[in-house]
Structure 1
Amino acid sequence: MKHKLLALLLGTSVILGACGGAEEPADEAADSTEGTTTASGDGEEIYQQNCIGCHGRNLEGASGPNLTEVGGKYDQAAIESIIINGQGNMPKGLLNEADAEVVASWLAEKK
């Protein structure tokens, strides 16, 4: 019985240790929220790093809406407002204001 308990604890420790390995160091995490990782100002790059989980790699939509022609529906200011303030199921604050402006400009061209 003790061997089974020991094996269970050891296995659990290994699994939990493996799960924690993908965290960013605190200083890098802070930098990414301050826009320092996107010095190039490339809206597509910022989108690929932050938005594809919900909107798809090619803007095709997934759990979030399709954005392939979002510029035909909203202007840059409206897109930026949605990114910053959230709308529907999209939470607010996913990007800082500088990155939101860059992504909104890029998305506004999608018509």
Structure 2
Amino acid sequence: MKMRLPLFAVSIITVFILAACGSHSNQQNQTNTAVIETESDLTAVDMLYKKNCLSCHAADLSGKVGPNLKEIGSKLSKEEIIERITLGRSGMPSFKNRLSEQDIEALGSWLADKK
């Protein structure tokens, strides 16, 4: 009987240690998932830009037919950028019927950060 008590205590301690390690791993996985979602959001906006804007504004935002967008966020507000993407202006076409509101919002936010 005396031998069973220490074995039982060791078993309980082992269970607590393993449980603590498992919860840390789970928290770490949740953090990694959040980072991946953020990276995939960035990739989605980057792909939107490449598909819809690159031909006029260049891969590096330096401009071709359209103006340079490298520092557009210091010249226009996010709302103004979204309005231009949505309605178009001068030589820029409207993307209201080509992109969803969410896509336009994402592009506008992304471009507004270019300062």
Please give the TM-score of this superposition, normalised by the length of structure 2.
0.58
How far apart are the structure 1 equivalents of 2:87 and 2:78? 14
Q: Any residues of structure 2 matched to 1:46-61 within 5 Å, and which? A: 46-61=48-63
Q: Which runs of 4+ in 1 moved over 4 A?
A: none
How far apart are the structure 1 equivalents of 2:46 and 2:100? 15
- 1:95 deviation in Å? 2.6
- 1:48 deviation in Å? 1.3
- 1:46 deviation in Å? 1.0
Q: Which structure has the bigger radius of gyration?
A: 2
- 1:45 deviation in Å? 2.1
Structure 1 regions of 5+ residues with no counterpart? Answer: 1-39
- Does 1 or 2 have the higher relative contact order (CA < 8 Å, sep 6+)? 1
Show the counterpart of 1:89: 91
Identity rate, percent: 42
Select which of 98, 101, 111 maps to 2:105: 101
Structure 2 regions of 5+ residues with no counterpart? Answer: 1-39
Show the counterpart of 2:80: 78
Please give the TM-score of this superposition, normalised by the length of structure 1.
0.60
Deviations 1:12-65 (A, max 9, x none): xxxxxxxxxxxxxxxxxxxxxxxxxxxx54322210121100000110100000
How far apart are the structure 2 equivalents of 1:66 and 1:87? 15
Matched-pair contact (CA < 8 Å) for 1:55–1:62: yes
- 1:88 deviation in Å? 1.0
How far apart are the structure 1 equivalents of 2:85 and 2:109? 12
How far apart are the structure 1 equivalents of 2:80 and 2:91? 16
How far apart are the structure 2 equivalents of 1:59 and 1:92? 19
